[in-house]
Chain A
């Protein structure tokens, strides 16, 4: 018998009641979902944004507000004033990198023309959009679409500037998951603050292998 068939046969036997403890099959009742799946705070509402900012800052992300795309460019320019290079996804909204200084090289990356990990290691920063942000947990989700790029570009550079539009901000985790469920097959990265570790005496230390600095620019 193949390993597959044998494991499946063992699972069926275990559930049939022929098991060693004379077990009956557990019930297969539809799980009750009485937890919150919606929120009184609408996506993009002032309260949702306020909670998101509070949570992001609590986990040592830096938050900046911008009223529109022009202001995004100005904020990005300021944040990357000292960066020698910045990698961008293939379809970052036009204008976001317009205010970069002359000394900052813009590196293009795409699935069709990817930079290697070693090349990305030479890049100082990355600018991406996001798919959705979850206020309750201070989480930003990237799903690899062309305005966010390959997973590697938001991982290897040490500084990540992530631009989130107000209407992308939902209050609860279930609201976020239900938006993401439209395209579950996309590679997702959920980001809640810069990389961190609690492995030494369970004290949290920010900044390990992922970007050590996370800037979130909230638009609108």
Chain B
């Protein structure tokens, strides 16, 4: 299987080491690999991948269902979460400036980045100013989205991922395939193999027991945590009225990064705000149950600027746009910005479960990725939602079953947005030029406007029976009909049209008795 077409760049491991994955780091974390249909076809042939994903997603679905059922006011919490996020988007300019004011008042420094390159530049300069060449990182979708690790590597700075799944992905020189568990496509045996070959200080008798693998990661990262001078994180929430930031995690790697180093740099999308501290009572109930299926995740860290004598004494917050304002400008699509990155929609999606995250060609896979990625990239090079933009295929990566909407903790109506984006893609593609579909509809309109023309067409259609096979289906037509029959069969026309049967069976148009029997039954027409 090959799902990569671009040139690999800035590998994080020596070039002579063959990558474990077949997805080397692409140039654009939001647009890589083949288009979804091609990548999905290849992924479906990978039985190991399907086994791994089927096992993992069914486990997490059961856990989530159990802890969500425990909460008597779950729907009220979802409503509140949705309303709070709608309010945030409506008041985003004032909320952003208020957050900036409150973070600054508590000793933090706020930076603004229009796009990925600008954010990477800001972070690289901040790290260089400390004189350090290695930084520890908390798992963060924002830094995945901007390709921060690769950008830092190009400046001679090594970024060490400390979340277990991110570490697995980084050691394998792979790409993440899930928002919450980036290494969900790997099973324990593959992870053991990656550790043995890439970790360096791993015990030789390592088995594939998850506990042993976790302990190997603990030992590997311990020294790095204790000596790190600079940490980089994302943020789950930015509380506007207090200037407080929140990181929700499980392993304690987040606490290590947020507590021990001297300098902390946090990259956060401009949409991650909540207006008040009390709003955390909603999201800290919704997020853990939706994401890991736990009542509460093991560790949540909240910090406000700098606390003298406790934790990093230099704090930088980078506020990132990178296409978010394009999403915000879209009346329908802007709800995608409400996402709190829980990944529940990935775990319930029948499409995601079968093709995995890499097929989406973006660090945001699954249903949320299918609406977020094309919107984030519509103004970037190669974007625009047109057919030649690979991301324009993403809204079709869905059966519209609606499971994603049902589990979304902030009630993002993903199916409706998918349909809207599909319509936009069709419209953008047409751009005034006649399409086959449009021409066919025009021709049909010409024929159906006139009774005599329609009658002639019906007679002609009966001749179409000649193209049918023994199964009563037309499977191959010459062009332009081939554009239909290449993807689906056409039933053969009936032996007799309804109009001609009616004329035979009834005396005239004024006859108003109910018909005593139906049209002549024809075994060939049974379907």
Chain A residues at the B interface, C-beta cutoff of 8 Å: 2-4, 6-8, 10-15, 19-37, 55, 59, 110-112, 114, 117-118, 121, 134, 136-139, 144, 150-152, 155-156, 173-174, 176-178, 180-181, 184-205, 207-211
Which single member of A21, A34, A117, A192 contacts B76 (CB below 8 Å)? A34
CA distance in complex: A12, B242 (Å): 23
CB interface residues, B 57-91, toward A, < 8 Å: 57, 59-60, 63, 72-73, 76-77, 79-80, 83-84, 86-87, 89-91
B298 lies within 8 A of A14 (CB): no
CB distance from B91 to the nearest CB of A (A): 6
Which single member of A6, A34, A150, A200 contacts B213 (CB below 8 Å)? A200
Which single member of B84, B114, B164, B299 contacts A7 (CB below 8 Å)? B114
A36 lies within 8 A of B300 (CB): no
CB distance from B114 to the nearest CB of A (A): 5
Chain B 211-244 per-residue mask, 1 if CB under 8 angstroms from chain A, else 0: 1011101100110011100000000000100111
**B144 in contact (CB, < 8 A):** no
* Apart from the given pairs A35-B80, A191-B299, A199-B251, 14 other A-B contacts in the complex at a CB distance below 8 Å: A4-B112, A11-B92, A14-B329, A21-B329, A22-B331, A36-B76, A150-B309, A151-B311, A187-B301, A195-B250, A199-B165, A205-B214, A208-B217, A210-B298
A152 lies within 8 A of B83 (CB): no
CB distance from A74 to the nearest CB of B (A): 28
A-B interface pairs (CB < 8 A), number: 290
Closest to B165 in A: A199
A35 lies within 8 A of B77 (CB): yes
- Mostly, the B contact residues are helix
Which single member of A3, A192, A202, A209 contacts B297 (CB below 8 Å)? A192
A23 lies within 8 A of B310 (CB): no
CA distance in complex: A180, B239 (Å): 14
CA distance in complex: A200, B280 (Å): 29
B331 lies within 8 A of A21 (CB): yes
Say whether, besides A177-B284, A187-B311, A205-B214, A196 and B295 are in contact (CB < 8 Å): no
How many residues of chain B are within 8 Å of chain A by beta carbon?
104
CA distance in complex: A26, B332 (Å): 10
CB distance from B52 to the nearest CB of A (A): 7
B252 lies within 8 A of A138 (CB): no
Closest A-B pairs by Cβ, 6 of them: A210-B252, A19-B329, A111-B309, A31-B83, A23-B331, A209-B252
B255 lies within 8 A of A210 (CB): yes
Closest to A139 in B: B296
CA distance in complex: A12, B298 (Å): 38
CA distance in complex: A176, B89 (Å): 27
Closest to B168 in A: A199
B163 lies within 8 A of A20 (CB): no
User: B305: which A residues are within 8 A, CB to CB?
Assistant: 185
**B113 in contact (CB, < 8 A):** yes
**B349 in contact (CB, < 8 A):** no
Say whether, besides A34-B80, A195-B252, A208-B252, A112 and B298 are in contact (CB < 8 Å): no
A209 lies within 8 A of B80 (CB): no
User: B79: which A residues are within 8 A, CB to CB?
Assistant: 32, 34
